[in-house]
Amino acid sequence: MASKYDGLARIIIQNVGGKENIESLTHCITRLRFKLYDEGKAQTDILNETDGIVKVMQSGGQYQVVIGNHVSDVYAAVCERAHINGDAPTNGAVAKEKQNAFNAFISVVTGVFLPFMGVLAALGILKGVLALLVSFHVLNGAGGTYNILYSLADSLFYFFPVILGYTASKKFGLDEFTGLILGATLVYPSMTSASVADVSNFLGIPVIMPATGDYTTSIIPIIIAVWFASILQKRIKKHIPDAVKSFITPLIVLIVTVPLTFLVIGPIASLVSNGISMFCNFLYGVSPAVLGLFVGLFWQVLVMFGLHWAIVPIGINNIGLMGYDIVMPCMIATTFAQTGAVLAIMLKTRNSHLKGLCIPAAISAFCGVTEPAIYGITLPKKTPFFITCIIAGIGGMVTAILNVKEYSLGAMGIFAWTTFVGEGEVSGMIRAIIVSLAALAVAFAAVYAVYKDTEKEA
């Protein structure tokens, strides 16, 4: 079916080196994330000058083409025109380039978490709204309406192992249904803390469950389990006759991986998860101000290179273990600082083209997506970008000092406000709103005071 983005898709495909140079393709909220066999074949300068493309970034082992809020439509057009299946390899004949540990980590994080971030944001908003309605006695927290809607809002968080079992399988090359079964086994009713079934041992070997009592809401154990299962599948597949391969392979993989997960992988991964949360709490305990300043100050720099996804799993892990997160709230001021800066430039500039760019960029930033504002306006101007970083750092420091906690993740900008409602009170949301609006106002005033059009723009 023809798309209005077909022309842009053709330009992108041609200038990333053609479809034969595309190893895989995914997208996040604003970017096409290519994994190219040879980035040297890409015509970055041409792409940067193409209408419809905000910026091209090469980071974390990925070739990232920043599109904007309509990236999913462009992604679909690229996949259709290049005849590729998204993150599926397009040319198995070319050997994969070895990545360093950090790039490999970023690749895993984006491949595993990005596919469901939109749904995660939607359910996070719903969860916050429900908590808000209960706090104001609009809904009965024990009533049928609340319980049904809360089941919807909490389902993704509760069944994280199942969802991650699927996305991690696609990333690591494991059969997706095998990954789904691995995740489903971890949250099977008999394996939850509410069950009275005896799961204390396997063949006489003690089973050590995580501190939370079960693996619901957990993220690290299933990812490691799927990674191990993918290696095992590759090793045994070539030794199994084709006539029985379709069912013998998953049988062996599951019967080996599931016990190993409960006996070894799960306990070790749970220690890692607990260690990450303890480290975050330790930093918070030593100095909330330092933690908040660091996250707020550097968040936009991480966003520029697509490296902020290295921090997102920390927040998800904290919520799974503690029910709340103290790290991600420290970036709440960043999107509003960008909004204020762009609004100031819009009112101050006499350049009609720049003014036209500011309007959608400000709306996008207010809703939590800052790439159009960063790449299109504040970063090229340099000073406004540095101002927003400083204000975001101060906002992060204040957020941490005020002990603002986030109870669900995924939503951004104004849509994130309801995620700060939890434990029967709304004071966290009020503090988050105050920090947000203060960042917007201060950034607006600071940028308005110093901004001047260049001679070329005037």
Last residue of a domain, one of 42, 62, 86: 86
Active-site entry in 28, 280, 358, 389? 28
55 or 121: which carries more pLDDT confidence?
A: 55
CB 296 within 8 A of CB 334: yes
CB 415 within 8 A of CB 129: no
User: Is it the case that residue 73 has pLDDT exceeding 50?
Assistant: yes
190 inside domain: yes
Predicted confidence at residue 43, as pLDDT, reads: 92
d(CA 247, CA 206): 29
**One domain for residues 337 and 417:** yes
Predicted confidence at residue 102, as pLDDT, reads: 63
Predicted confidence at residue 133, as pLDDT, reads: 87
Residues 233-267 have pLDDT tens digits of: 999 998 999 899 999 999 999 999 999 999 999 99
Tokens of 379: 């970063």
Last residue of a domain, one of 70, 86, 102: 86
104 inside domain: no
CA-based nearest residue to 87, from 18, 5, 22, 38: 22
Residues 85-111 have pLDDT tens digits of: 755 544 444 445 556 666 677 678 777
Residues 383-424 have pLDDT tens digits of: 999 999 999 999 999 999 999 999 887 678 888 898 898 877
**One domain for residues 407 and 302:** yes
**One domain for residues 226 and 372:** no
**One domain for residues 149 and 235:** yes
**One domain for residues 194 and 273:** yes
State the first-to-last Cα distance of the chain, in angstroms, to the nearest integer.
43
422 or 151: which carries more pLDDT confidence?
A: 151
Residue 438 confidence class, pLDDT cut points 50, 70, 90: very high
Domain that holds residue 46: 5-86
28 inside domain: yes
**One domain for residues 383 and 362:** yes
Amino acid at 108: V
* Domain total of the chain: 3
Q: Above pLDDT 70, what percent of the chain?
A: 92
Lowest mean pLDDT among 49-58, 107-116, 132-141: 107-116
**One domain for residues 322 and 339:** yes
**One domain for residues 233 and 297:** no
**One domain for residues 378 and 269:** no
290 or 95: which carries more pLDDT confidence?
A: 290
| Mean pLDDT score across all residues of the chain | 87
358 catalytically annotated: no
Tokens of 226: 């799927």
Residues 331-359 have pLDDT tens digits of: 999 999 999 999 999 999 988 888 888 88
95 inside domain: no
Residue 455 confidence class, pLDDT cut points 50, 70, 90: low
**One domain for residues 75 and 176:** no
* Cut 0.85: pTM above it: no
Only one residue has tokens 């998800």, namely: 316
357 or 434: which carries more pLDDT confidence?
A: 434
Predicted confidence at residue 92, as pLDDT, reads: 43
Residue 451 confidence class, pLDDT cut points 50, 70, 90: very high
Amino acid at 9: A
Residues 353-389 have pLDDT tens digits of: 888 888 888 988 888 878 788 878 898 888 999 999 9
347 inside domain: yes
**One domain for residues 227 and 319:** no
Last residue of a domain, one of 255, 282, 309: 282
User: Is it the case that residue 117 has pLDDT exceeding 80?
Assistant: no
10 inside domain: yes
User: Is it the case that residue 277 has pLDDT exceeding 80?
Assistant: no
CB 42 within 8 A of CB 17: yes
**One domain for residues 200 and 213:** yes
